[in-house]
């Protein structure tokens, strides 16, 4: 998992954001923030992902990817950014490794 100060409270994400990427499995939305650090949030429809175990597993996989393999949370930004990842129900067809590969190819802003 990532540190609490790097997690984005979903309710604080502004309505005026820009869509960075929209694909079959997830969408990335970005907005500037005033905290001085990049933050990351994961969002999805709970009706599409029935069990909490599944929702938490997907959330952990995404957070883990950004913690270990991405520079988004590691670098000190000139302008801090909030990044919201919205998972689509089609992501259920992917294995964990396929999800990580999809994030590698499309998960950088």
76 — pLDDT class (breaks 50, 70, 90): low
The pLDDT, as a whole number, for residue 29 is 92
Domain residue limits, the chain: 4-106
Q: Are 70 and 104 in contact (CB under 8 A)?
A: no
Q: What CATH number was assigned to the domain covering residues 4-106?
A: 3.30.230.10
Cα separations (Å) of 88 from 23, 44, 47, 48? 9, 7, 11, 8
3 three-class SS: coil
Helix (H) or strand (E) holding 86: strand 81-87
Report the percent of the chain where pLDDT is more than 90.
25
Q: Are strands 26-32 and 18-22 parallel, antiparallel or unpaired?
A: antiparallel
Burial class (CB in 10 A: 0-12, 13-18, 19+), 87: buried
pLDDT digits (tens, 9 = 90+) for 44-61: 887 888 888 988 999 999
């Amino acid at each position: 998992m990532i540190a609490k100060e790097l997690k984005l409270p979903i309710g604080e994400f502004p309505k005026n954001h820009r869509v960075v990427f929209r694909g079959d499995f997830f969408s990335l939305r970005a907005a500037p923030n005033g905290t001085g650090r990049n933050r990351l949030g994961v969002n999805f429809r709970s009706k599409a992902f029935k069990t909490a175990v599944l929702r938490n597993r997907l959330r952990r996989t995404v957070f883990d990817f950004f913690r270990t393999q991405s520079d988004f949370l590691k670098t000190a930004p000139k302008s801090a950014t909030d990044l919201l990842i919205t998972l689509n129900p089609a992501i259920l067809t992917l294995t964990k490794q396929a999800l990580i590969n999809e994030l590698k190819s499309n998960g950088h802003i």
